[in-house]
Structure 1
């Protein structure tokens, strides 16, 4: 191994150091994500409003590390094949930029897939369900309905404008939301 290293010129050594160093750092980032239960680098995501995917930055630690991995390995392989230094540098920068862009778009995709699990009761509008606890007529009190929305079976408070109380197991249609979580329903026809 020492003989191989001594046979390399200065530029080849530079590329090998970058390739191996960046690859080891990439492995540390990956291991940290696995074992620590969270990301070391959130890609620059902004937690103060807006879409999280929009907060992913191209100049994050992961993206820069990906650039260095692509740059280093491309340069190391091309200098070993006898390519000119100028062409090797240009191609290594292009490959590094491709690696960086791939990591950026993958991180952006992964962040956009994150869900916070918060129920938005407006997503229940237009859905059908059934009465769970009797709903008094003319909005004179609250009952409860069971409705499937956002992939969950939810029991929610409900009111109705119907002339008669809605008994348990009566099929209903959700029309709107009053307040934060009270569904406005009518009998399904």
Structure 2
């Protein structure tokens, strides 16, 4: 009761500028925290993560699921783009209100309301642009990973963890792609499972962290046309 009374007195003592800035900043900050937690546990991605591939290091380069999926709730492509930069998206708007709101709230103690709002808007714009550049850098890094894994098709890989037959489960492989050893989840259409240590050929990239492989067929030496008499 004492806390509620003190909080009520504090709120009643705030100006309209303080109250508006506090509400916007607090709400945006909560959304930012939720987004961060979702990204950390993998829920912020469009594709998500398989429990069987959660510890994959290399194939995460394919597409780590960090795309701006929350942007879909606002605009699939962003309102304004410049050279792949999403100027206005869900995340940039949240960043704008979070930083801009707290700056406005703080500056309102020292400046007239309009001065605090101007500085808050400037700070919010800076935060939005910063987040836009950050997301572009992340997506560019993922795109590089996609291009890198494209070179893996047709390469010979070694089975790191047994791959079940007929796509009944996934295993793991290791393969050298562009001079870098990469681990990735894999499935096969083979009637027999591919055991650890066996060699296989990468046939296709199926999804974000998954490739299709087939066992290597041992070549048989050609029989001699002439038999020794």
> TM-score, with normalisation over the residues of structure 1?
0.56
The Cα of 1:82 is off from its aligned counterpart by 2.9
**Deviation string, structure 1 residues 143-178 (Cα, Å, up to 9, x no partner):** xxxx8734249x99xxxxxxxxxxxxxxxxxxxxxx
Inter-partner Cα distance in structure 2 for 1:148 and 1:83: 58
Alignment-derived partner of residue 24 in structure 2: 18
Higher relative contact order (CA 8 A, sep 6+): 2
Is 1:2 aligned to residue 8 of structure 2? yes
Q: Could you say what secondary structure the match of 2:127 adopts?
A: helix
Going from structure 1 to structure 2, the CA distance change for 1:7 and 1:148 (only over 3 Å counts) comes to: closer
Q: How many residues align?
A: 126
Which segments of 5 or more consecutive residues in structure 2 lack a partner in the other structure?
Answer: 1-6, 46-65, 153-175, 183-199, 202-229
Residues 29 and 98 in structure 2, CA contact (< 8 A), matched pair in contact too: yes
C-alpha RMSD of the superposition: 3.2
Question: Aligned in 2, Cα 1:150/1:20: closer, same or farther, shift over 3 Å?
Answer: same
Cα pair distance change 1:149/1:25, threshold 3 Å: closer
Worse-superposed segment, 14-23 or 55-64: 55-64
TM-score normalised per structure 2: 0.47
Secondary structure of the 1:41 match is helix
> Of the two, which has the highest radius of gyration?
1
Which structure 1 segments of 5+ residues have no match? 47-52, 122-146, 157-189
Q: Distance in 2 between matches of 1:61 and 1:148?
A: 35
| Residue matched to 1:91 | 119
Offset at 1:55? 4.4
- How far apart are the structure 2 equivalents of 1:2 and 1:9? 13
Aligned equivalent of 1:100: 128
Please name the residue that 1:75 is paired with: 104
Pairing of 1:143-158 with structure 2 (within 5 A): 149-152=178-181
Task: Return the offset for 1:63.
Answer: 0.6
CA distance in 2, matches of 1:14, 1:119: 50
